[in-house]
Structure 1
Amino acid sequence: MGSVRKASAWLGLVEDNDERYYDDEYAEGDRAGDSWVTDPRVRVVSETAQEEGRRIATVSPDGFRDARSIGELFRDGVPVIMNLTSMEPADAKRVVDFAAGLTFGLRGSIERVATRVFLLTPADTQIVNGEPGPHTQDGFFNQS
């Protein structure tokens, strides 16, 4: 099964008949009630920002098992900054492959921000480039 198909199956976009990819740790019945306990490596801003739709999550996974928290946040429409600097290179590559399939499946985008740091943005999020525009002769800093 290809990585895009795996990500699509994990997101519930297609049926997955291959049970070997599911981990017992993440079984549906493992959660106590409906409350979701946030991983300490995942930080999401305050409730006020959530109400206004201005949430961004930062995730610093230790291994590939933490990819689930990235997928859940992204599926909920939250932009995610993945910091993979503390991971082994092989696991970091697997997480990037997963994130690429995730963004492709949900029509989002993935952008490298720094070495081993990536920004995942949902389809309805616009990225604004902070680079200055071209300088004009009559600009504010023209001192002649």
Structure 2
Amino acid sequence: MGFLDRINQKAVVEDEDFAYEDGDFVDYTDEEYFESEDADVTPIRSVANVDIARIVTVWVSSYKDIKDFAVEYRNGLPVILNLSEAADNERARIVDFALGLCFGLEGVFSRISDDVFLLTPHSVSIDSRGSDDEHDFAR
């Protein structure tokens, strides 16, 4: 008997495993248990179509503070990352981490200014308005 045969044999459900005592089984074939066709049904909406209720802004000055924005971004919230108070060597480490976080979660990392970055989850799109030219935030 091969390896897969042994797994398949263990996965087979025996009828005796599902034996019912008298009174344990309820027959739901009566029409009263089914909803009528006149029932109001709410259409199902995709979660991606729901507007984001909040955007998190975080001022990070050292690498040890990255958890402040990483947890929020991992939970699917857009994050504005302000590094104006970070030293240059710390800024490089934080940006590298944020780039890896965005890449790993299939999001977008955008530069807003020299000190401010936008981390956008894959479920959120960025729209630009106010000019005929498209803005390239991902410089």
Cross-structure match for 1:101: 100
How far the C-alpha of 1:82 sits from its partner, in A, is 0.5
Cross-structure match for 2:90: 91
Once residues 118 and 70 of structure 1 are traced to their aligned partners in structure 2, the CA distance between those partners, rounded to angstroms, is 12
TM-score, with normalisation over the residues of structure 1?
0.55
Give aligned-pair identity as a percent: 37
Stretches of structure 1 that go unaligned for 5 or more consecutive residues are 1-50, 135-144
Q: How does 1:53-132 map to 2 (within 5 A)?
A: 53-132=52-131
TM-score, with normalisation over the residues of structure 2?
0.57
Counterpart residue type for residue 111 of structure 2: R
In the alignment of these two chains, the number of paired residues is 84
Which structure is larger by alpha-carbon Rg, 1 or 2?
Answer: 2
Once residues 69 and 86 of structure 1 are traced to their aligned partners in structure 2, the CA distance between those partners, rounded to angstroms, is 15
Counterpart residue type for residue 88 of structure 2: P
Stretches of structure 2 that go unaligned for 5 or more consecutive residues are 1-49, 134-139
Once residues 77 and 54 of structure 2 are traced to their aligned partners in structure 1, the CA distance between those partners, rounded to angstroms, is 6
Q: Give per-residue Cα distances to partners, 1:5-58, cap 9 Å, x unaligned.
A: xxxxxxxxxxxxxxxxxxxxxxxxxxxxxxxxxxxxxxxxxxxxxx96321000
Runs of at least 4 residues of structure 1 off by over 6 A? none
How far the C-alpha of 1:70 sits from its partner, in A, is 1.1
The higher relative CO (CA closer than 8 Å, separation ≥ 6) is in 1
How far the C-alpha of 1:104 sits from its partner, in A, is 0.3
